[in-house]
Amino acid sequence: MSDKISLDKMPDRAVVQFNCHGTAAGKMRNELDIEMVKPFKESFKMATDEGAFHGGDATAEPPLALFIGGLTGCLMTQIRAFAKRLNVPLNDLQVDTQIEWDWAMKGRTYETAPKSFKIDVLIDSDAPLKKQLELVEAAKRGCFIEQTLGQKNIIQHRLKTGNGWVEA
């Protein structure tokens, strides 16, 4: 559910905040209650699961599938939204995304590191190439996920204990 808000009613700056509460359900399945709380309210229910490699039942997409889908969908959304605002007609749009990670065993666990992100944008438009490139650049700047990936981030983890929260 979302409040109906149009772009012209948005302030010049705003904080966009999403919260997610995950609950373990089954072998490796996670039930996710996701809520956008700022600048307006929307809520979603999703799930993730893993296949046999991690001991799951593959009852939902694995987190990495949601990750690449989120990145691809975010960029596509921005291209389509900004195409209207920049007067770039779209006859068709397709985006192919490829992500690679390095994966290395470390004892009984493993460690990962991002290796490459490749995004191919296929736009069918009568607009000049310059306008299409401007559209893609605007969409890249407007894609929350791409902007997050493009910079160093500090991710904080806390673990709940009987005495409160501790940094993990």
Average pLDDT across each block of 10 residues of the chain; the chain has 168 residues. List them in order.
62 87 90 92 94 88 93 95 96 95 92 94 97 98 95 94 95
Rounded distance between C-alpha atoms, residue 165 and residue 167, angstroms: 7
Instruction: Supply the pLDDT for residue 7.
Output: 66
Contacts for 115 with CB less than 8 Å, ≥ 6 apart: 100, 101, 102
Q: Where are the beta strands (DSSP E) in 58-142?
A: 92-106, 109-124
pTM recorded for the entire structure: 0.86
The fold adopted by the segment(s) 62-151 is GMP Synthetase; Chain A, domain 3 (3.30.300)
Count Cβ atoms below 10 Å from residue 83 Cβ, excluding itself: 21
Rounded distance between C-alpha atoms, residue 96 and residue 82, angstroms: 19
**What are the residue ranges spanned by the domains of the chain?**
15-61, 62-151
What token pair was written down for 103? 């994966």
Rounded distance between C-alpha atoms, residue 16 and residue 37, angstroms: 8
